[in-house]
């Protein structure tokens, strides 16, 4: 699924909501753990409010994640496939290089 969010508030809203659900928290439970009001959590999750850095740290702590993760944008499927492709190419290159090195060493011994 492609990320449709185009601004930082929408990215933050999505990440808080997703992480809250992953933790099995209601908005009320997250608010309690972060020391903020439930309506404020709701407003953040619909991109109507933006918390201070201190509140962001408390929310991240309540969700057991790093603060920067509240702003992370997952790669598109195309980007993920390209990274996988590049990783496979690097692995193949390494295996071939090791095989060539081994063959050269064996030839030198002969």
CATH of the domain at 51: 1.10.260.40
> Does residue 2 lie in a domain region?
no
Residue 21 near residue 30, CB atoms below 8 Å: no
Do 85 and 97 belong together in one domain? yes
Successive 10-residue mean pLDDT values, the chain, 110 residues: 68 96 97 98 97 98 97 83 90 93 86
Distance of alpha carbon 46 from alpha carbon 13, whole angstroms: 6
Do 81 and 61 belong together in one domain? no
Domain that holds residue 107: 75-110
Do 67 and 83 belong together in one domain? no
Distance of alpha carbon 103 from alpha carbon 107, whole angstroms: 6
**Would the pTM count as exceeding 0.85?**
no
pLDDT, residue 55, reads 98
pLDDT, residue 5, reads 52
Q: Give the chain's count of helices (H) and strands (E).
A: 5, 0
Residue 50 near residue 71, CB atoms below 8 Å: no
Residue 31 near residue 63, CB atoms below 8 Å: no
pLDDT, residue 77, reads 85
> Does residue 1 lie in a domain region?
no
pLDDT, residue 83, reads 84
How many structural domains are present in the chain? Answer: 2
Do 83 and 66 belong together in one domain? no
């Amino acid at each position: 699924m492609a990320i449709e969010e185009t601004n930082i508030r929408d990215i933050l809203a999505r990440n808080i909501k997703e992480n809250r659900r992953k933790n099995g928290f209601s908005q009320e439970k997250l608010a309690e753990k972060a020391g903020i009001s439930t309506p404020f959590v709701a407003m953040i999750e619909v991109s109507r409010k933006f918390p201070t850095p201190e509140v962001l740290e408390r929310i991240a702590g309540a969700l057991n994640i790093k603060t920067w993760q509240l702003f992370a944008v997952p790669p598109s499927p195309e980007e993920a496939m390209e990274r996988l492709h590049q990783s496979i190419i690097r692995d193949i290159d390494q295996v071939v290089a090791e095989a060539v090195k081994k063959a050269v060493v064996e030839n030198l011994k002969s």
